[in-house]
């Protein structure tokens, strides 16, 4: 990997380069920003630059050919450590920091960082999901941060800055990361072959809030099937709200996951509905839709509204607004099923009452 493989964080690279050139390489950094924008990839490239034998630190470049670079690329560098929260776990296990059982204190990240570098001039450790350290883990790392071992560099990564202990935060140099552009997400999806379909890539990128991770989740086949069903319901002339809500919530159940994931799934359904009405409005207003493929359900729905002239466009906009409102509600303590149910109820009622008005 090299900086060229990364998107959208040129400003952060430049800031690091300048501060290192001024002799200000910190002992610890905290990379903060939304999930899926490339923070951990950034940390790996940063480490590789520091391990590169052909470039001085302040150049912040990696040749890709020296043994330091090769070992980083092969994930076998003896002075590089990367830890994080295991999939499905709520926190980083304490053993990651201290070692476990008889080996407690003789292995684990705190021990590894205290040893002298084996190959390069320093040891680099990355803690992904740093907001998921429990108290014991955080206390151990706090000691390391207070008295950093010589020749060590620690990079903490967190989505949510507020969830990182202030005592830890204050000992790290903060580097903030923003969302990626929709274009960057589209290109990354295709480059990484998460999809080979450019239209799909563009459509999920537009809904991803600038996160590659979110975009990749949206490509989940089960979620896509659910979207197709949703579009089917929304385009029906006489949608039965209860049937729609039932089918869709049981579809969410099939995808499975805990309450948090269910809520997120319901959130996606609402976002898909927004997208449906947004595209309807675009079709009705005759905007240029070059490069965008409009699903047949949207076209069908738009054709029906078209016969009502301006009132049709207004209705589509109102339906869109109702979905935005539902998205705001999804984070409240209402069950996701209830939110979906009342949304469909309203969508059906709004469509019906307008029909009567225009007759």
Which single residue is written with the structure tokens 């996701």?
336
For Zn ion, the closer of residues 45 and 266 by Cβ is: 45
Least separation in angstroms between CB 67 and Zn ion: 8
Closest separation in Å from C-beta 344 to Zn ion: 57
- Taking the complex as a whole, the smallest distance from the CB of residue 74 to Zn ion amounts, in Å, to 13
Question: What is the closest distance, in whole angstroms, from the C-beta atom of residue 3 to Zn ion in the complex?
Answer: 13
Tell me whether residue 52 or residue 204 sits nearer to Zn ion (CB atom): 52
- Kindly tell me which of 122 and 227 has the beta carbon lying closer to Zn ion: 122
**Binding to Zn ion in span 55-94, by CB under 5 A:** 63, 66, 69
Point out which residues pair with 133 in neighbouring strands.
92
Per DSSP, what are the bridge partners of residue 81? 125
- CB closer to Zn ion, 54 vs 89: 54
Q: Closest separation between CB of residue 50 and Zn ion, Å?
A: 10
Shortest separation between residue 68's beta carbon and Zn ion, angstroms: 5
**Per-residue binder mask for Zn ion (CB under 5 A), 15-54, x = binder:** -------------------------------------x-x
Indicate the residue among 71 and 339 with the shorter CB distance to Zn ion: 71
Does the footprint of Zn ion cover residue 270 (CB under 5 A)?
no
Nearer to Zn ion, 76 or 333 (CB): 76
Q: How far is the CB of 326 from Zn ion (least distance, A)?
A: 51
Residue closer to Zn ion (CB basis): 63 or 317: 63
Q: How many residues bind Zn ion (CB under 5 A)?
A: 5
**Interface residues with Zn ion (CB under 5 A)?**
52, 54, 63, 66, 69
């Amino acid at each position: 990997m090299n900086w060229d493989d990364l998107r959208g964080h040129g400003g952060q690279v430049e800031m690091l380069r300048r501060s290192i050139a001024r002799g200000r390489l910190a002992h610890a950094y905290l990379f903060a920003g939304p999930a899926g924008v490339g923070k951990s990839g950034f940390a790996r490239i940063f480490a590789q630059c520091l391990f590169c034998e052909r470039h001085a630190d302040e150049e912040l470049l990696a040749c890709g050919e020296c043994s330091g670079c090769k070992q980083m690329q092969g994930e076998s560098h003896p002075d590089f450590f990367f830890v994080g929260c295991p999939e499905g776990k709520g926190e980083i296990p304490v053993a990651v920091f201290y070692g476990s059982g008889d080996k407690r204190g003789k292995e684990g990240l705190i021990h590894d960082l205290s040893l002298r570098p084996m190959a390069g001039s320093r040891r680099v450790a990355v803690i992904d999901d740093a907001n998921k350290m429990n108290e014991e883990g955080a206390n151990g790392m706090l000691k390391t941060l207070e008295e950093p071992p010589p020749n060590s560099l620690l990079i903490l990564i967190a989505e949510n800055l507020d969830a990182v202990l202030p005592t830890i935060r204050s000992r790290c140099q903060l580097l903030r990361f923003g969302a990626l552009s929709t274009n960057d997400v589209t290109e990354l999806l295709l480059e990484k072959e998460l999809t080979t379909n450019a239209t799909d890539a563009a459509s999920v990128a537009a809904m991803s809030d600038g996160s590659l991770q979110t975009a990749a989740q949206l490509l989940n086949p089960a979620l896509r099937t659910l979207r197709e069903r949703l579009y089917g319901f929304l385009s029906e002339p006489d949608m039965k709200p209860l049937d729609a809500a039932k089918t869709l919530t049981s579809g969410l159940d099939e995808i499975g996951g805990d309450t948090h994931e269910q809520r997120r799934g319901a959130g996606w359904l609402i976002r898909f509905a927004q997208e449906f009405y947004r595209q309807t409005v675009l079709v009705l207003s005759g905007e240029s839709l070059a490069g965008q493929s409009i699903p047949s359900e949207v076209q069908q729905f738009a054709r029906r509204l078209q016969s009502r002239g301006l009132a049709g466009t207004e209705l589509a906009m109102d339906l869109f607004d109702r979905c935005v409102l539902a998205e705001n509600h999804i984070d409240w303590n209402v069950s996701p099923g209830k939110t979906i149910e009342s949304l469909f109820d309203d969508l059906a009622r709004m469509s019906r009452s307008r029909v009567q008005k225009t007759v």
